[in-house]
Structures are given as structure tokens and as C-alpha cells.
Structure 1
């Protein structure tokens, strides 16, 4: 019975050690992601303005 208890404790401990936690982003990664998102938003806005200017020129 003791061996079974020790085996259970060992397996439980092993499962706790091998279970991965959710990956957390570092501050640098968060900043990099925010900069990339901002750059994408600026590019989208520039494309929208370009399309509007082309439409305005075509309508004249």
C-alpha cells in the first residue's frame, strides 16, 4: 500500500512539473506588437486616403 501511495505522489508531482503554463509576453514583445499594429493601421489609413484621392481625381 505504501508503494502505491508513493507512486501516486510521484506521478502527481511529475504531472505538476510537466504541465506548461500559459505563455506570457514580455514587455518588449508587447511594445513590438503595439508598434506593428500601429504601423498596420497607418498603412491602412494611407491606402484609404490614396483611394479617395484617386476617386476624386477620376470624378473631375
Structure 2
């Protein structure tokens, strides 16, 4: 779970510093979706292994990371260049 958070934070920071145009925003949103999907897949595997509470936490963290990245991506176009 911490690895997912680290990857998401690094990706968000890198894209924020690298570019502030719509293609970058779309790329960040795509990465956010990929992170959320990976978290869901991990959570599904954890549920299959009987780790219900941990699975819920992983899935929730993936959703929170996705939401934060999408918000950051939306703010990219709002930033004056």
C-alpha cells in the first residue's frame, strides 16, 4: 500500500513540474486511473486470501490517491503560464 502511495506521489510531482498543458493533465488522469485499478486488483486478491479489512484499506487508499491526482491534474490547466 505504501508503495502505491509513493508511486502516485512521485508521478503527480513529476507531471506537475514537467508540464502544465492538457496532454499532461490527461496523462496524469490516466495514471490515476491505473493506480486505482491496480489497488482494486490488489484488494480483490487480498479478499480472496481472507484479508477483508486490509483489502478495504488498500482499495480506499487507491481511490483517495486517484482523487488527489485527478484534482491535481484539474488544477494544472487552472495555473497561469
TM-score, L = length of structure 2:
0.37
User: Which structure has the bigger radius of gyration?
Assistant: 1
Q: Higher relative contact order at CA 8 Å, sep ≥6: structure 1 or structure 2? A: 2
Higher helix share: 2
